[in-house]
Amino acid sequence: MIYFDETSADELDAIREQRRDVDLEMAAMTAVGDRMAELRRAGVCTHGSAQGYREDLGDPELRPGQVRCTDTCGRIFASDDDWYAAIDAALRD
Ligand SMILES: [Zn+2]
């Protein structure tokens, strides 16, 4: 959309800037995915998926607020925040 005080060149600059931002965001996400795949091949769980507590889940070890890793390790985290921190730690190490 071009406003009265803009030119088509301004619009083109904005479009190019948005495309560049998307390219940078996609490159960053691809790098994270590549790192997760690399760690998985090395046998490291990156805790990429998890199940929260549910009364009818049938998991006697899981308590309200806790989260169990369903990726490969089955580790129980005290909260979503702990789970996210473990993902970050796995990608950092
Ligand atoms: Zn895990």
Identify the band that residue 77 occupies on the pLDDT scale cut at 50, 70 and 90: very high
Q: Which residues surround ligand 1, an ion (CB under 5 A)?
A: 45, 47, 69, 71, 73
C-beta neighbour count of 68 within 10 angstroms: 20
DSSP element (H, E) containing 85: helix 80-92
pLDDT in tens, 16-74: 999 999 999 999 999 999 999 999 999 999 999 999 999 998 899 999 999 999 999 99
Q: If you measure from the C-alpha of residue 16 to the centroid of ligand 1, how many angstroms do you get, rounded to a whole number?
A: 40
| pLDDT at residue 11 in the model | 87
